[in-house]
Structure 1
Amino acid sequence: MERWDEVVVITGASSGVGRATAEALARKGCTLLLAARRGDELVDVARRCRESGARDAIAVPTDVADTEAVERLARRAEEAFGRIDVWVNCAAVAAFGPLAEVPPDIFRRIIETNVLGCVNGARAALRTMSPRGSGTVINFSSAVAPAPVPYNTAYVLSKAAIRSFGATLRQELRLAGRRGVHVCTVIPASLDTPFFTVAGNYSGRKAFPIAPVYTAERAARTVLSLVRGPRREAFVGPAAGALDVLSRVSPGLLERLLGPLTDRAQLSRRESAPRSAGSVQHPFPADAVDADDSGRGGAVDGGWHGRRRTALRRAAAGTSVTAAAVLAAWGVSSSRGGRGRAGP
């Protein structure tokens, strides 16, 4: 099997997509710097990555909202391995609930972690990549960036900002002549991770992913494809690409569809949830989010696959997206036809 030589920094590496990405890159033989707030879990991830084939894997407990901590992470990589080839910004937190119910300090912390954490990571990475003239920064946005949903305002705002952030960085690098330095934005649909278990919740209703739900490993494979062939944006799952198209073709229709869909499919009407900040301010203990029954002791998935509930939601979501696409296409076609008839 081909061995890769990249030195990769991954934030949010203790669970979910970050962990799945670390494991996938370890199997390729990469050298890994793994960052997250949960130090004990991170050490275990690093050990498992070394056992899976990583040339080396170092755990560096880091709060990405802390600029100095992220700079220390970058220096650790440079001191240990002399360079950073790829930086993957995966760390993210969220809190469900109407805007008026989410405390201001929780809202602020989400923006700091998701947006400033991404900015801190990119700044640290580009500081070492730009002089070398090569490297790749991979930022995780979300399908809610082009297709906003209610009851998760800070998260939606942060993911839209990350997508725009990638566009501005690409322009700056192009203007500076740094064509060997790439900034990629990953835009996934719902992913099967512990995200919904550890998110804050001020809605009073248990949160679920909106189907279709894709695996964290699928997102990790997208990251691997960007390491080998960088491109400006990459969607994870057809639903993410479809939502992006609909957001441009018929944004008003998409808003009208997503509001009720989120209210019915993402927040339970039967299962309540206690008011909680979740992992926004402080990380959950590993055993509180360990949904993996495969014996690895990890928290890559959130246990949302293989259930009848998910299958039903997948069918409902697929029907909604298809209907939206048909209606949007019909609307565009009709309006164009109308303009043609009314032309000079």
Structure 2
Amino acid sequence: MVVTGATSGIGRAAARAFAERGDRLVLAARSPATLAEVRAECAAAGAQALDVPTDITADGAVDALADAAVDRFGRVDVWLHTAAVMAYGRFEETPARVFEQVVRTDLLAAAAVARVALRRFQAAGGGTLILVGSVLGHITAPYLSGYVASKWGLQGLGRVLQQEARDTPGVEVCLVSPGSVDTPVYQRAANHLGRLGRPPLPVTTPERVARAILDCADRPRREVSVGRANVVMRVGFTALPGVYDVLVGPLMRLLALTDRRTPPRDGVVFAADPSSEVVRGGWLPDLGQLARAVGGLPGAVGSALRRRPW
């Protein structure tokens, strides 16, 4: 099992889950120190694990990672790709270099991983590629232009790869699309909006997403959605686009942004921050936040509808 993005959030939760059932692991991420911690966690669970510090946006890095995996374990059976970064800001106010690095990391590097993994699978006679996308690969939300564009691109790429894999027996491509997850990606994001982000309710755990990933590794499926609100959002986006567009801005500001102010910053878009590399972001449980958010919904919706030029 190769896991890219193994030092925090969903990737780290999945690495632990793979280790607990005895899978052999190759762990990759940018931070050597945190990667060594994850390797130690997996070893404590009884798994063989190799840590390979890797910046997947660097030329040749993914090939080198695959070579290390094959040198150590002989082949790659499953490649899980979870690495992603995020940036908050209005599109025109987000620096081009930040937008482009988000797309480079979340889409182009994912394509590089897919290219290398699929070639290895074809040579070995089979294998499973699991790409972690997002419900934002099916819908849109303001202030996340680079992330949304990347996840839409990843969704399209994944579907193309699934279609092409039909011609290659033994090769499987899976998409796992979570909604809001309690990971540190929101605190670690670049921010040119002035307000810190948070996962909008309802929020699920990274461990739940990890279980869906392990299920795909054992029983590959085209796509697995993880999140109770995903279907509702997708139906609203598709069936009621006018209403969706009226409501998504106020709801985003109410549910997906905190009141905490922040100066412009690049977060972990360009460099790792080992101090913030953990599985959970600390968003669950927060019953006070839940009560305030739910209590503010009627006013936000009513205000948005009153401003709508019907």
TM-score w.r.t. length of structure 2: 0.92
CA drift at 1:225: 0.7
Match of 2:60 among 60, 63, 68: 68
Q: Which amino acid aligns with 2:263?
A: P
Residue 214 of structure 2: aligned partner: 224
Please give the alpha-carbon distance, in whole angstroms, between the structure 2 residues aligned to 1:51 and 1:317. 45
Residue 286 of structure 2: aligned partner: 307
CA drift at 1:317: 10
Please give the alpha-carbon distance, in whole angstroms, between the structure 2 residues aligned to 1:63 and 1:146. 27
SS in 2 for 1:195: coil
Residue 162 of structure 2: aligned partner: 170
Please give the alpha-carbon distance, in whole angstroms, between the structure 1 residues aligned to 2:9 and 2:296. 23
Residue 256 of structure 1: aligned partner: 246
1:277–1:19 distance in 2 versus 1, CA, 3 Å: same
Residue 204 of structure 2: aligned partner: 214
Residue 191 of structure 1: aligned partner: 181
Match of 1:105 among 97, 103, 115: 97
SS in 2 for 1:238: coil
Higher relative contact order, structure no. (Cα contacts within 8 Å, ≥ 6 residues apart): 2
Q: Is the 8 A contact 1:265 1:313 kept in 2?
A: no
Residue 35 of structure 1: aligned partner: 28
CA drift at 1:91: 0.3
Deviations 1:146-170, CA, capped at 9 Å, x for gaps: 1110001000110111111100111
CA drift at 1:80: 1.1
Q: Which amino acid aligns with 1:21?
A: A
SS in 1 for 2:6: coil
Calculate the aligned-residue CA RMSD, in Å.
1.9
Match of 1:142 among 122, 126, 134: 134
Q: Is the 8 A contact 2:254 2:293 kept in 1?
A: no
> In terms of Rg, which structure is larger?
1
Please give the alpha-carbon distance, in whole angstroms, between the structure 2 residues aligned to 1:318 and 1:16. 29
Q: Is the 8 A contact 2:255 2:293 kept in 1?
A: no
Q: Is the 8 A contact 1:21 1:221 kept in 2?
A: yes
Deviations 1:230-289, CA, capped at 9 Å, x for gaps: 111101112123322333333333232222211222223x321121000001111x22x2
Please give the alpha-carbon distance, in whole angstroms, between the structure 1 residues aligned to 2:201 and 2:192. 22
SS in 2 for 1:281: coil
Please give the alpha-carbon distance, in whole angstroms, between the structure 2 residues aligned to 1:82 and 1:223. 23
Deviations 1:196-242, CA, capped at 9 Å, x for gaps: 11101000112111111110101100101101111111011121233
Residue 152 of structure 2: aligned partner: 160
Structure 2 unaligned blocks of 5 or more: 302-310
Residue 270 of structure 2: aligned partner: 281
Please give the alpha-carbon distance, in whole angstroms, between the structure 1 residues aligned to 2:249 and 2:2. 36
Please give the alpha-carbon distance, in whole angstroms, between the structure 1 residues aligned to 2:199 and 2:263. 18
Are 2:261 and 1:272 aligned? yes
1:30–1:239 distance in 2 versus 1, CA, 3 Å: same
TM-score w.r.t. length of structure 1: 0.83
Which range moves more in the overlay, 132-141 or 104-113?
Answer: 132-141
Deviations 1:105-148, CA, capped at 9 Å, x for gaps: 11111111110111111111111101333111111111112111
Q: Is the 8 A contact 1:193 1:302 kept in 2?
A: yes
SS in 2 for 1:304: coil
CA drift at 1:306: 1.3
CA drift at 1:50: 1.0
CA drift at 1:316: 6.9
**% same residue:** 39
Please give the alpha-carbon distance, in whole angstroms, between the structure 2 residues aligned to 1:237 and 1:256. 23
Residue 293 of structure 1: aligned partner: none
Please give the alpha-carbon distance, in whole angstroms, between the structure 2 residues aligned to 1:317 and 1:66. 45
Please give the alpha-carbon distance, in whole angstroms, between the structure 2 residues aligned to 1:113 and 1:139. 13
Q: Is the 8 A contact 1:193 1:301 kept in 2?
A: yes
Q: Which amino acid aligns with 2:28?
A: A
Q: Is the 8 A contact 1:12 1:92 kept in 2?
A: yes
Are 2:193 and 1:203 aligned? yes
1:12–1:316 distance in 2 versus 1, CA, 3 Å: farther
Please give the alpha-carbon distance, in whole angstroms, between the structure 1 residues aligned to 2:8 and 2:198. 18
Structure 1 unaligned blocks of 5 or more: 1-7, 291-298, 324-344
